[in-house]
Structure 1
């Protein structure tokens, strides 16, 4: 039996591995090196984690922005061989815990309308649909479903066995 990936803070030397994973998971709208660098440059409002497998390879990552009591999930990515392992849920739980720690009342996110797997994960954590942003994901011109989680709600869960692939 292999051990579960462990979470740790994202560091600059992880960016190259994240870029490869980004291109695999999100080929049409993968983040650039500059996007990751700018997120790392603002630790006052940003929180990024990576999940390492037993070999030390990155199995997933997630990022959160927190400003003025509001949080936004910037990205979550899980390596394909880890889908269904619960790693996406662990990453999301880490982001929600950090949002609470920073005193945020709500967490927002955008997810592709065609990514029902991620939407189900978010719903299990208490996220509810707010609306749609037309053509949000470019260049594919795919709509984004905007979802919000009220951190004060007792319904916010930490389910086991779920994963996510959205940003």
Structure 2
């Protein structure tokens, strides 16, 4: 998943991967704790100084492989607040294509997001101003991908993106224009993307959906996606002087 939504800058802090992308999405502006540091308290202080030096809140993305194993509790005691519990779902492309309904929608797939694609995605799901949009474009195009859009008589109705990471593809940026919803455009976009990925030899796909989005989870499970893992964020919003010390070192 890191490969599917790459940060514009990464740096390692004693085994933890710090991602920095101007504040555009937590995913690209959070610490991925890949390895246990030699001194967790000291490394936490360094990470907090790094993010605040860039005008960003310190954020950690915590999944099953987070190191050290007790890091979530350490961060909670330090004042980090829980954010966005998310479920990772996976499937074989063959199974999803078998379950998706056929569609007569006019779906076009390209290798790069053009202005029309960006306009609709940003209208539906964008956050921030022109600088954020430019940074988002850099994140999207930082890894090979496929970009689909579905058309109807009023123009572009829906868009979606696949990040191409080895034999896997990640589903991102599924967005449907409000007045075109419930007409099958999202499923048509997903089919168009996965058909093209299969042609290029990809076998498996993943997506991320927030735990409280029950409608989306049900829809994706209906077409073959199954829960595989989960993660959440811990974000420190308190000023630097108000951080609580860690009570024990998470070694």
What TM-score results when the alignment is normalised by the length of structure 2? Answer: 0.44
Q: Which has the higher contact order (CA 8 A, sep 6+)?
A: 2
Shift of 1:40: 4.5
Q: Which residue of 2 aligns with 1:141?
A: none
Query: Which of these residues, 105, 111, 123, is aligned with residue 203 of structure 2?
Result: 105
Structure whose alpha-carbon radius of gyration is higher: 2
Q: Which residue of 2 aligns with 1:18?
A: 121
Shift of 1:39: 2.9
Comparing 108-117 with 127-136, which one deviates more in the overlay? 127-136
The reply on whether 1:88 has 2:191 as its aligned counterpart is no
Question: 1: distance between equivalents of 2:173 and 2:119?
Answer: 16
After superposition, give the CA deviation of every residue in 1:51-96 in whole Å (9 maximum; x if it has no partner).
Answer: 223122x211000011221111122111222222111111111222
Q: Which runs of 5+ in 2 are unaligned?
A: 1-103, 236-251
Shift of 1:127: 0.5
Query: Which of these residues, 91, 106, 110, is aligned with residue 6 of structure 1?
Result: 106
Show the 5 A alignment for 1:108-123: 108-123=206-221
Q: Which residue of 2 aligns with 1:33?
A: 134
C-alpha contact 2:149 2:158 (8 A) present in aligned 1: yes
Q: Which residue of 1 aligns with 2:37?
A: none
Change (3 A) 1:5 1:94: closer
Change (3 A) 1:120 1:6: same
Question: 2: distance between equivalents of 1:95 and 1:33?
Answer: 24
Query: Which of these residues, 134, 151, 167, is aligned with residue 232 of structure 2?
Result: 134
Q: Which residue of 2 aligns with 1:67?
A: 165
Q: Which residue of 2 aligns with 1:46?
A: 145
Question: 2: distance between equivalents of 1:93 and 1:9?
Answer: 11
C-alpha contact 1:5 1:59 (8 A) present in aligned 2: no
Counterpart secondary structure, 1:126:
coil
